[in-house]
Amino acid sequence: MRIGDVARRSGVSVRALRYYEEQGLLSPTRSPGGQREYAEDAVDRVRFFQQLYAAGLPSRRIAELLPCVDTGTTTAEQRAMLDAERDRIRKQIDEYTAALARLDEIVVAAADRRV
């Protein structure tokens, strides 16, 4: 698969795919002409990246936990990182929930006082 196909199928830009490679998240092979050649699972991997990006993980962290996904094993450091990230995400969810409540308050307070 070439880069444009992966982009269309995964819903990200070509530029993003090159960026992921630059960050060590993807390592496509090259055609004799120098063009990137992606394996079939690249699309799923990209979707996985998007999901983690959406949760606020930076490229570095994603790169660090890719070995865990591929080998199904973890080192002590990786477990610590995973725990820390899970904790961070849980706290983020709490903050989002609190902010949502604040917006709800505003809506409710203004519900019977519309202009």
Residues 28-47 close enough to bind DNA by CB under 7 A: 31-36
SS3 37: strand
Q: Both tokens of residue 108?
A: 């409710």
Q: Which does 47 bind (CB under 5 to 8 A by kind): DNA, a copy of itself, none?
A: none
Query: By CB under 8 A, is residue 2 in contact with a copy of itself?
Result: no
Element (H, E) at 29: strand 29-30
Place of tokens 């630059």: 22
Site size for a copy of itself (CB under 8 A)? 40
Among 58, 75, 96, 110, interactor with DNA by CB under 7 A = 58
Nearer to a copy of itself, 19 or 48 (CB): 48
Please report how close the Cβ of residue 17 comes to a copy of itself at its closest, in angstroms.
Answer: 20
Query: By CB under 8 A, is residue 57 in contact with a copy of itself?
Result: yes
Query: By CB under 8 A, is residue 11 in contact with a copy of itself?
Result: no
- State how far the Cα of 26 lies from the Cα of 70, in Å rounded to an integer: 13
Sign of the dihedral through C-alpha 23, 25, 29, 30: negative
